[in-house]
Amino acid sequence: MLPHQEKDLPLLSIFIDDGELKSSKKCQMTATVTKKSSLEEMIISKSRVKLMKGEINDQFEEFTEEELNVACEVVAYLISKEAVGATKSEVLDEFCSIPKPELARVILKLLREKLIYKVGTVCVRYVSYKFASKWAVLTYHLKRLDREKLPSLNPEKGNQISDITEPPSKRKRLSKEAVESEEKQKSTPSHDKFFVILRPWIRVDGSLNRSGLSFMLLSVLSHVIDRPATTMTEIAENFLPSLANIITYDLIEILEEMHCVTRYVVMKQPVSLFSKRSLIYEIRPAHELDLENEVRVEATPESAVKLALLMHGSFSSHTNYKCPCH
């Protein structure tokens, strides 16, 4: 330590109190917790499919008059495509008269309002709200107390050995009672069902698998740090066949929401036979309709620290994570 630093250190204790230090640390921790909870809510809500009944005019309140006409045309076009949907290239070809940044802004608002959904396996496809359930799974959230009430999971019920040793007449009577109890449980609507677009970090009941998500985010971020300025297609090819392309794209978007990576596009000027030699390229931020082979990803300077702060609760058990497909 330098001499002038040693002299300056005692002055800090005069101006900063221990109580202020504790309160500032507490504010930082609460801010991190609120950011973490909002991030988890965003990831869960992104996987939920919102069923819309009747008119959808209330969903267009955030659009301006110019954007409203474009949004209605986009939704009508995707409804005509039914469950297959349309890729980014097809959307750009259909609405070639509209400037690309304006169209991307409208599609981003439609995704936020859940009027269209981003689905697919190999490439990104946009599907309207009417056919989004074809890409989702109908499920419900089962709590622990409800799980204990189920007869198949209740340890107090008889075991299989005692059922086998009983006479056939008694076994038939027991089976009839079991069928009647199951029918009663099905007839009573005790759970609110909803549609979920499944991802490896989303459980079947719609909850978030934090350890699996942190493991995948750490893998993608470490690859981006090792190979900066690579395209999204190259990153997705590195994780094949363990992760599909659309899953890797979603993980990159989550890292961008956490401010761990940045996405940009390098704009090259058209070259002809008479053009002058130039090494100047224009760099702009990537938007929704940029193709994955054109978008480059680069880690931010404090990406590892931010990821550790937001996911530190699940990092303690990420070493015990096991891939579900192995």
Model confidence pLDDT, tens digit, residues 74-102: 999 999 999 999 999 999 999 999 999 99
To the question of pTM greater than 0.85 for the whole model, the response is no
Please give the Cα distance from 18 to 144 (Å, whole number). 43
190 CB-contact burial (10 Å; exposed 0-12 / middle 13-18 / buried 19+): exposed
Give dist(CA 285, CA 232) in Å, integer. Answer: 14
Over residues 262-285, mean pLDDT: 82
Dig out the tokens for 239 from the structure: 């994780």
Lowest mean pLDDT among 11-15, 22-26, 63-67: 11-15
- In this model, does residue 131 exceed pLDDT 70? yes
Helices (H), 188-238: 210-226, 232-238
45, 146, 213, 259, 266 from 209: Cα distances, Å: 14, 20, 6, 21, 35
**pLDDT band for position 141 (50/70/90)?**
confident
Q: What is the pLDDT of residue 118?
A: 93
Size (the chain), residues: 326
What pLDDT, on a 0 to 100 scale, did the predictor assign at position 219? 94
pLDDT digits (tens, 9 = 90+) for 210-269: 888 999 999 999 999 999 999 999 999 999 989 999 999 999 999 999 899 999 999 877
- Sign of the alpha-carbon dihedral angle for 216, 220, 223, 225: negative
What count of other Cβ atoms lies within 10 Å of the Cβ of residue 64? 10
Read off the DSSP letter of residue 122: S
| Band of residue 272 on the pLDDT scale cut at 50, 70, 90 | confident
Task: Give me the percent of the chain exceeding a pLDDT of 90.
Answer: 39
